[in-house]
Chain A
Amino acid sequence: MKKRLIALLMSTMMVGSVLMTGCSTVSTEEAGETSADAEDETTTDTFKGDGDKTINILLYMQEHEKKIYSGLIKDFVEEHKDEIKEVNFEVTTQDEYGTKMTANMTAGDMPDIFYVGPDSVRSYVDNGYVLPLDDYVDQETVDNLWPAIKSAYQYDGTQVGQGSLYCLPKDLSCFAFAYNKDLFDEAGLAYPDPENPYTYDEFLEVCKALTKDTDGDGEIDQWGVANADAFGMTPYIYSNGARFLNDDYTKVNITDNDAFKTAFQYYVDLTAKEGVTPSVEQDTALGGYQRWLDGQVGFYACGTWDVAAFMDDSTFPYNWDLCGWPVGPDGTKSTTWLGTVGYAVSAKTENKDLCTELIKKLSTDLEGQQAVSGETTGESLQLPNIMDYAKSTFKDKVADGTVPYASNIDVIYNYIEGSDKYDGIFSETTYTYNSEWMDVFLEGVPNVKNGTVSVDDYLKEVEPKMQEALDNAIELQNTSTND
C-alpha cells in the first residue's frame, strides 16, 4: 500500500514537471539553462523624471547597441522630465524575446513599446495589440524612410504593404556578398565589378582559381566560397529568378520549377561536384564565418551588421570589399534578402503621445542614427534609417573614412532600392506564419551537398513535407488574423 502511494506520488510529480515544460510560463528552468550560454542576460535600466507617467519598453539588442539606445532614452527622459515618472528599458536576447512576449500577452501585461517584425504585423494588428501611427508620425518622417521598410509595416486589415503604418524601423539590413581582396591579389585575379555581378559560370571560374592547397600537404585549405545553408543559399536561388513559394505564398513550388532546380543544383555542385567550398564535414568542424575571418575563403556573405566586425583589423586582418551575388542563367538581377524589425506602440498604452515620440527618437533621431551607423562611434552597426542622411552625409563620411566601411557601399544601396542589376526582397519566410517549411527543406540539404541524395530525388521527397508544414502555417495564420 505504502509502495503504491509512493509510486502514485512520484508519478504525479513527474507528470507535473513534464507537463510544465509545455507551458510557456513555467518552462524557465530549461529555458534559463539554454540561455546561459547567450552572452547577455535580460537587464532592465530605469530612467527617472519628475512627472507621473511610466513607460515600459521590451526589446532585444546587443550590448554595444544597448549603450547607444540607453543614451537616447536618457536624453528623451531629460527632455520630457515634467511628464515622465520613469522609463523601464528592458533588454533581452533575441532567443528569449519571443517567449517573454508570449508570456506578457498571455498575462495581458504588454509593454508600452516592443518589437514587431514584418512577419507578425498582421497577427499583432488583427488581435489589437498595436497602435496605428498615422496620427502621431508626420508625413515628412514617413517619406524619409526607405520604401522597403514602409511597405513592410503598412497594413490595411487585409493586405500588408498598404494602409496604416504600424511600426517605425529599428533597422533595415541587407545580406550582401563580400570578397577577400588579399586572396584575389595572391591569385592574380581581377576584383569583382560591383556594377556587374558575376554570372554563375564566371563565379565558378573565379572560385576554382581561389581553391587551392596553400601549404603543400596535399589537402585543400583555401576555398573559393563558403556557404551557410540557412542564410547563404537563398541569394543563389533568388538570383536565378527562382522562389520557393508561389506569388501568394500558399504553394511550395520547387519540383516543377526549372529555375529553382538549376539554382539548387548549382548551389549543391559548388560543394559536391566542384569542391570550391569546404565539404559538409569540414563545415561542421568549422563554420564558414570562422573560415572567412581566418582568410581561408575568397567569398563570404556580409550582412550590414557584419561590416563593423569585418572593418576591425583585430577581427578580420584582410582587405575586403562588397560585391553582388552571382546571377543565374534564368535570372536577370543579383537578388538577396533584406531584414528589418520595427518599434511598435501598444494599443493599450496610456501614454500614446509620449510613446510615439520616443520611438521616433529611437528610429529616426539624427544623432541616434549617426551613432548606430558609425559616424560618431566609428563602428557601423546598421544603415541609417533616415534616407536623406543615408544618401548624403553618411556616404560622404564613408568616402572620407570617418565611417569605416567597405568602399563598394553602393552594392548595399542597390540591393535596398533596386536597380537594373540588383534587387532586394524580404525572404519568403517573412510572409508565412512560421518558417517550419523552410527548416524542413534545410534539414536534408547536407545530404545533397555530400552527394548521398540527388537533387531531383531530394526535391521530390521534400516538397510534400514542405507543403504540409506550409499548410499548417497558413492555418495558424488564419487563427491569428481576421480572414
Chain B
Amino acid sequence: MSKTKNVVKTQLSPMAKREERWAWLFIAAPFIGFLLFMAYPIGFALLASGSKWTGVNSLIGNLCGFENFIDILTDPKFWKSMLTTIIYMIGIPLGMIFGLLIAMGMNRNLPGKRIMTTMYYVPVVSSLVAVAILWAWVFNFDYGLLNTIIKFLTGHHGPNWLGDEVWVKVAMIIFMTWKGLGTSIILYLAGLQNVPKDYYEAAEIDGATGWEKFRFITLPLISPVTFYILITSLIGGFQVFVEVQVMTTNGGTNYSAATIVYYLYDKAFSNGQLGYGCAVAVILAIIIFIITAINFKYQDKWVVTD
C-alpha cells in the first residue's frame, strides 16, 4: 500500500502538487460548509432530542434517553396532527390530476398560452404568508368570497371553513392544491412536450383511440415527471406549517388543523420544549426517509426511464 503511494507521489511534478493543494482547497469549501451547516446542526438536533433541553437550562445536564420519543408516541396530539398531515395529502393526487389536465390543455398551440402559464404560476412564486392571508379572507365565514358565492347560488350560508373541525381540512386541501398547481403544470407541460410526436402518429395508424394514446403513450412517458412531483409533494406535505400558522388560531378548534411541523413548532417555541421539538423533528425525518425510500424502491414498477 505504502509502496503505491510512494510511486504516485514521485510521479507528481511540483506544478501538479501545487494543483493538488488547490484541489483540496476547492473540495474543502463545500465540505466545511456541509460540516457547519448540515452535520453540526443534525448532530446537535439528535443530541438535543435526547434531552429535556429548554433553551435556558443545560442541554447535557438534562439528558433523558428516549423519554421524549416515548412521550411523543404516547401523545394523542401527535397522532392527531399526524393524521391531519396525512389527510392534507389528499391534495397531492388532486393537484397532479388537475395539473396534468390543464397542462394537456395548454399543450396545444393556443393563443395566450404564455399568459395562462404565468397566471397559474403566480401562486408558486408569491409569498406563502401573503397568499395564506388572502385565502383566510376567501374562506371567511361571513364576509368571505366563497361563502358569498355559496349564498348567492344556494341561498344558504356556507360552512365555517376555518373554524369547523372538518371543514378546515377541506379548506386547507383546496388552498394547497391551488398553491401547488403551477408547479405541476409547468413540469407536466415540459414532460408532455418531450413526448415524441411520431409515437402518436404510429398509434393513430394502428387505430388507437384518444384514450388509448393517453393511457399507453402519454402517461408512461411522463411518469418520471409524475414520480418527481410525487416525491417532492410528499416531502413538502410532511412539512406543511405556514398555512396552519397563518390561517388558523392555535392550530384550529381542538387542534383540528395542526400538522406535524405545527406540533413541533408549538412544542419547541410556544412551550419552550426545545429538546422535545428536536425529537419530533427526528421522528419526522425518519418517516420522510422511509417513505422516500419506499417510493424509490417501487418506482421500477411504474416509472418509465428509457
Binding site for B on A (CB under 8 A): 3-4, 7, 10-11, 14-16, 18-26, 30, 33-34, 36-37, 98-99, 101-102, 105-106, 120, 123-124, 127, 129, 230, 280-286, 433-436, 439, 442-444, 446-447, 472-473, 475-476, 479-480
Contacts and interface: CB of A to CB of B under 8 A. Distances in A.
A433 to B, nearest CB: 7
A479 B57 contact: yes
B46 A105 contact: no
A15 B288 contact: yes
B289 A480 contact: no
A284 B242 contact: no
A130 to B, nearest CB: 11
A476 B142 CA distance: 42
A34 B274 contact: no
B285 A15 contact: yes
Contacts of A281: 141-142, 160, 163
24 contacts: A15-B42, A15-B289, A18-B238, A18-B284, A22-B48, A22-B281, A23-B48, A23-B281, A26-B41, A30-B265, A34-B241, A36-B127, A101-B55, A106-B55, A230-B250, A281-B160, A283-B163, A284-B160, A433-B272, A434-B272, A435-B271, A442-B250, A479-B54, A479-B62
Interface string B49-90: 100101111100110000000000000000000000000000
Contacts of A285: 140-144
B162 interface: yes
A19 B289 CA distance: 11
A34 B242 contact: yes
A133 B90 CA distance: 58
A99 B56 CA distance: 11
Interface string B265-306: 100111111100111111011101100110010000000000
Interface of B: 37-38, 41-42, 44-46, 48-49, 52, 54-58, 61-62, 127-130, 133, 140-144, 160, 162-163, 231, 235, 238-239, 241-242, 245-246, 250-251, 253-255, 261, 264-265, 268-274, 277-282, 284-286, 288-289, 292-293, 296
Nearest to A436: B271
Interface centre among A25, A106, A281, A443 (most CB of B within 10 A): A443
B242 to A, nearest CB: 6
Contacts of A10: 231, 292, 296
B253 A443 contact: yes
Contact of B38 (A16, A123, A436): A16
B61 to A, nearest CB: 8
Given A11-B293, A33-B127, A34-B129, A102 B55 contact: yes
A442 B133 CA distance: 23
Nearest to A35: B129
Contacts of A3: 296
B129 A33 contact: yes
A124 to B, nearest CB: 7
A434 B271 contact: yes
B300 to A, nearest CB: 9
A280 B245 CA distance: 20
A288 B246 CA distance: 18
Contacts of A18: 238-239, 281, 284-285, 288
Nearest to A20: B41
A201 B274 CA distance: 46
Given A15-B289, A19-B45, A433-B272, A282 B142 contact: yes
Contacts of A230: 250
B261 A21 contact: yes
Given A3-B296, A36-B129, A479 B272 contact: no
A19 B281 contact: yes
B55 A444 contact: no
Contacts of A25: 41
Contacts of B273: 434, 472, 476
A20 B284 CA distance: 11
A11 B282 contact: no
